Amino acid sequence: MDTLSHALDGLQALQQKAWTYLTEFVSPNALGTQEQWTLESLECGCGQATRDNQIALVYSHAGDVNGEWSVTLQLSSRRFFTVAFARRQI
Query: Tens of pLDDT along 61-70?
Result: 888 889 999 9
Query: Tens of pLDDT along 28-77?
Result: 677 877 778 899 999 998 888 889 999 999 999 888 889 999 999 999 99
pLDDT at 10: 92
Domain ranges of the chain: 3-89
CB 72 within 8 A of CB 49: yes
Q: Where would I find the H helices in the chain?
A: 3-9, 11-25
Pick the CATH number of 3-89 from 3.40.1260.10, 3.40.50.300, 3.10.450.630, 3.40.1440.10: 3.10.450.630
Q: State residue 33 phi and psi, 5-degree precision.
A: -155, 155
* Contacts with 53 (C-beta within 8 Å, 6 or more apart), sequence order: 3, 74, 75, 76
Instruction: List strands edge to edge, sheet with 64-76.
Output: 38-43, 54-61, 64-76, 79-89
pLDDT at 1: 58
Q: What predicted TM-score, i.e. pTM, was given to this entire model?
A: 0.88
Q: CA 62, 43, 72, 30: dihedral to nearest 10 degrees?
A: -10
